[in-house]
């Protein structure tokens, strides 16, 4: 789970946790005018924060249960005890995460020494300018964000495209274009999609509140406008007309002149994922009816359109449980299908990025759990339904979560995101055929492009593709729009030159099935591979026909190269197989370790139960000894009673005998006194 703290600047862990604990008042520091934790947070949140603080600073709960006369202490003890053996680092990050959600601006309020950074913005021709906003509109100066080395960008006439109030775009550099209209409220974890030269923004999170507004940016006039929705009439396709509901962490997919909103976190979460549709023609919103068993509700998942189906992976449910399940929704039949793919899937995560290559391969990159961020790459063959983890090459990105990605051809661009310390400043690109990473550009400072939860879409300007980012959170909420025009030269040919091995060696196709025929997979023979490699250096490889000796020499070199490529491919396949076996062994080891932990837990529970039984046995023995003592006392009393009765009987007999002799003597016996 990616947290807002990942993209924030400032203290790293564990110092950030202690600052959060001090701000919340768990270490006795006087904050918020002396109000205690219970008065600042709801009872449920206060208990969770208390338990996480204890887990992070003390460890698992080993203290005895408080007496029943103290319900508050019992609740605190139970909340702490339920965390089990959660790691201290995970408890720290969850503590900060919950505090961020309850009071998003806590860090800036906790430390007056933390100043808001100034975005380093520069205009073309070496002139500096501030990005000034008045009444939601920006002045039409064109600005470019400085590169990492601090040099200024100088645009050339051939690289500049102007269209009315449209943006000025430089190849492979982010530009802040001049935009008119009322810009949307700053946010992150929103969803964006492009339909017919219009970028739609829906929902998101601002200061811990979920948003429900739908805004549209016209990419021809670069003007913002708000979209008002109407409730759709009830029909067979959409039996449940609805209005836009506040949500965050959802996905927005264009489909048949509609915008489909899938999943997302809401204030009152449903049990399963809901699919809402906004009709762009009628302006109405409705809940679509689906069939089959839908996935559990969640946010931070990835939703990828593949043909006529949506592939949903991972995310985090309403109980903060991370997921790595896989579902497919057929948009023609609106039927859910849970997929049980073979191989080792990605670990449970949220706020990752996903893309589809060649309408067959689903790629998953990065994401976060409660405690860590990832930079691993996983591939799912949608035909064989088999997971694999291919070898990445080039400049592999740092671990991150909350990033955004889009595809342009076979290139997958990744922007933003963050780890536990700072936002990711590099815009990176992955060639999905060669699996080679490279850096497109970098930005400086805490700018919106180095944010978590931003959106990224692909638009078109004068027939060329452009990347458009919006929003994000990096210690503050953003509503800026930035544009990048990717250069095909820098994103395609550079990878051919940087790749240490031919494209065919590290292609996704071979990683997903190393035994597959390389020639059939790429639909070319060895000669085709040679042609791919020498395309960028024709002057050196294409020689006059008359030079026969040189041609023979080249033919010999080609033959040797083909043989070396074959051997290299064979070694790569063997290496990949060994890596897969190692991954399976590690998975088995992890499963065995989890089973061991489970058995240890069961053993501890049995030991506790045995201890209780021993206590019960000791109590029963004590009762038995007491019973034996009482039995002896009873027997003694019975003997004493019998002796008393016998003595009384003897006395009565003696008394009766004396009376007879007295009667004979002429003096009758006197009557006994009544008792």
Work out the average pLDDT over 276-285. 92
Give Cα 66 to chain centroid, integer Å.
36
Which DSSP string corresponds to 369-392? -SS-EEEEEEEEETTTTEEE-PPP
Which residues, 6+ apart, have CB-to-CB distance to 624 below 8 Å? none
| Residue 445 CB-density burial (10 A; 0-12 exposed, 13-18 middle, 19+ buried) | middle
Phi, psi of 118 (to 5 degrees): -95, 125
State in Å, rounded, how far the first CA of the chain is from the last one: 91
Confidence at residue 656, expressed as pLDDT on a 0 to 100 scale: 66
Confidence at residue 119, expressed as pLDDT on a 0 to 100 scale: 31
3-state SS, 48-95, equals: HHHHHHHHHHCCCCCCCCCCCCCHHHHHHHHHHHCCCCCCHHHHHHHH
Which residues, 6+ apart, have CB-to-CB distance to 489 below 8 Å? none
Range with the lowest mean pLDDT among 377-386, 540-549, 658-667? 540-549
Tokens of 41: 């947070």
The Cα 470–Cα 216 span in angstroms is: 12
**Which of 441, 555, 562, 433 is CA-nearest to residue 499?**
433
Work out the average pLDDT over 132-145. 33
Work out the average pLDDT over 180-208. 95
**pTM value?**
0.55
pLDDT band, residue 100 (cuts 50/70/90): confident
pLDDT band, residue 107 (cuts 50/70/90): confident
Which DSSP string corresponds to 424-483? --EEEEEETTTTEEEEEEE--SS-GGG-BS-EEEEEEETTEEEEEEE--BSSSBB--EEE
Q: Is the pLDDT of residue 101 over 70?
A: yes
**Which of 420, 415, 409, 404 is CA-nearest to residue 439?**
415
- Average per-residue pLDDT in the chain? 78
Give tens-digit pLDDT for 558-575: 778 888 888 888 888 888
234 in Cβ contact with 285 (< 8 Å): no
Confidence at residue 442, expressed as pLDDT on a 0 to 100 scale: 93
Confidence at residue 233, expressed as pLDDT on a 0 to 100 scale: 65
42 vs 434, which has greater pLDDT?
434
Work out the average pLDDT over 473-502. 67
Compute the residue count for the chain: 675
Give tens-digit pLDDT for 440-479: 999 988 889 999 999 999 999 888 899 999 999 998 899 9
Give tens-digit pLDDT for 423-436: 999 999 999 999 99
Confidence at residue 132, expressed as pLDDT on a 0 to 100 scale: 30
Tokens of 607: 């030991």
Confidence at residue 104, expressed as pLDDT on a 0 to 100 scale: 73
63 vs 483, which has greater pLDDT?
483
63 vs 349, which has greater pLDDT?
349
- Residue 637: which region, alpha, beta or left (left: phi > 0; alpha: psi -120 to 50)? alpha
CA dihedral 415, 418, 422, 426 (to 10 degrees): -20
Confidence at residue 505, expressed as pLDDT on a 0 to 100 scale: 34
235 vs 190, which has greater pLDDT?
190
The Cα 77–Cα 81 span in angstroms is: 6
Confidence at residue 67, expressed as pLDDT on a 0 to 100 scale: 77
Confidence at residue 364, expressed as pLDDT on a 0 to 100 scale: 98
Confidence at residue 122, expressed as pLDDT on a 0 to 100 scale: 31
Tokens of 321: 């449980």
Question: Which domains can be identified in the chain, with CATH numbers?
Answer: 14-107 (1.20.80.10), 173-233+243-485 (2.120.10.80)
Confidence at residue 129, expressed as pLDDT on a 0 to 100 scale: 31
Top mean-pLDDT range of 113-122, 519-528, 546-555: 546-555
Q: Is the pLDDT of residue 488 over 70?
A: no
Q: Is the pLDDT of residue 363 over 90?
A: yes
Q: Is the pLDDT of residue 392 over 90?
A: yes
Strands 426-431 and 411-418: antiparallel
pLDDT band, residue 31 (cuts 50/70/90): very low
Range with the lowest mean pLDDT among 151-155, 377-381, 399-403, 578-582? 151-155
């Amino acid at each position: 789970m990616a947290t807002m703290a990942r993209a924030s600047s400032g203290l790293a862990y564990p110092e950030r946790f202690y600052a959060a604990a001090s701000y919340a008042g768990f270490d006795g520091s006087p904050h918020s005018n002396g109000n205690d934790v219970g008065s600042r947070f709801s009872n449920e949140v206060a208990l969770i924060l208390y338990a996480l603080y204890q887990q992070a600073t003390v460890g698992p709960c080993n203290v005895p249960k408080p007496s029943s006369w103290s319900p508050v202490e019992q609740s605190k003890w139970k909340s702490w005890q339920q965390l089990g053996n959660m790691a201290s680092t995970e408890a720290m990050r969850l503590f900060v995460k919950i505090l961020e959600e309850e009071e998003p601006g806590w860090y800036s309020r906790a430390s007056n020494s933390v100043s808001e950074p100034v975005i380093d913005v520069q205009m073309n021709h070496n002139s500096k300018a501030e990005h000034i906003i008045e009444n939601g509109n920006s002045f039409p100066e064109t600005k470019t964000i400085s590169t990492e080395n601090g040099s200024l960008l100088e645009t050339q006439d051939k690289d500049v495209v102007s269209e009315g109030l449209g943006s000025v775009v430089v190849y492979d550099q982010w530009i802040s274009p001049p935009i008119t209209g009322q810009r949307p409220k700053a946010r992150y974890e929103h969803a964006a999609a492009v339909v017919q030269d219009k970028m739609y923004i829906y929902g998101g999170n601002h200061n811990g509140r979920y948003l429900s507004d739908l805004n549209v940016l016209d990419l021809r006039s670069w003007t913002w406008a708000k979209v008002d929705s109407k409730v759709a009439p009830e029909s067979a396709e959409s039996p449940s007309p609805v209005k836009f509901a506040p949500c965050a962490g959802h996905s927005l997919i264009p489909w048949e002149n509609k915008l489909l909103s899938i999943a997302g976190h809401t204030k009152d979460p449903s049990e399963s994922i809901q699919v809402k549709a906004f009709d762009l023609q009628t302006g109405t919103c409705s809940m679509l009816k689906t069939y089959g068993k839908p996935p559990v509700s969640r946010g931070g998942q990835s939703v990828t359109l593949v043909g006529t189906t949506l592939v949903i992976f991972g995310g985090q449910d309403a109980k903060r449980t991370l997921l790595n399940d896989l579902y497919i929704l057929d948009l023609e039949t609106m039927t859910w299908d849970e997929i049980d793919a073979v191989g080792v899937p990605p670990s449970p995560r949220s706020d990752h990025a996903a893309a589809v290559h060649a309408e067959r391969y689903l790629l998953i990159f990065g994401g976060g759990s409660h405690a860590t961020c990832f930079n691993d790459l996983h591939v799912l063959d949608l035909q064989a339904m088999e997971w694999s983890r291919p070898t990445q090459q080039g400049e592999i990105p740092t671990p991150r979560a909350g990033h955004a990605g889009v595809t342009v051809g076979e290139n997958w661009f990744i922007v933003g995101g963050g780890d536990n310390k700072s936002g990711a400043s590099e815009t990176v690109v992955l060639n999905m055929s060669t699996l080679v990473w490279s850096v497109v550009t970098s930005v400086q400072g805490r700018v919106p492009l180095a944010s978590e939860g931003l959106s990224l879409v692909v638009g078109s300007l004068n027939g060329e593709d452009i990347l458009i980012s919006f929003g994000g959170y990096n210690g503050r909420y953003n509503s800026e729009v930035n544009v990048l025009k990717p250069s095909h030269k820098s994103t395609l040919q550079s990878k051919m030159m940087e790749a240490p091995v031919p494209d065919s060696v590290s292609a996704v196709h071979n990683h997903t099935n190393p035994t597959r025929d390389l020639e059939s997979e790429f639909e070319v023979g060895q000669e085709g591979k040679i042609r791919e490699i020498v395309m960028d250096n024709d002057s050196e490889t294409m020689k006059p026909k008359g030079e026969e000796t040189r041609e023979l020499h080249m033919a010999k070199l080609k033959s040797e190269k083909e043989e070396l490529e074959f051997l290299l491919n064979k070694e790569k396949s063997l290496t990949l197989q060994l890596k897969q076996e190692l991954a399976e062994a590690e998975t088995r080891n992890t499963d065995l370790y989890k089973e061991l932990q489970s058995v240890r837990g069961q053993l501890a529970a049995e030991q506790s139960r045995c201890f209780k039984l021993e206590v019960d046995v000791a109590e029963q023995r004590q009762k038995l000894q007491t019973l034996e003592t009482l039995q002896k006392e009873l027997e003694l009393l019975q003997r004493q009673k019998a002796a008393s009765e016998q003595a009384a009987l003897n006395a009565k007999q003696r008394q009766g005998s004396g009376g007879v002799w007295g009667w004979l003597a002429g003096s009758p016996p006197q009557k006994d006194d009544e008792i």
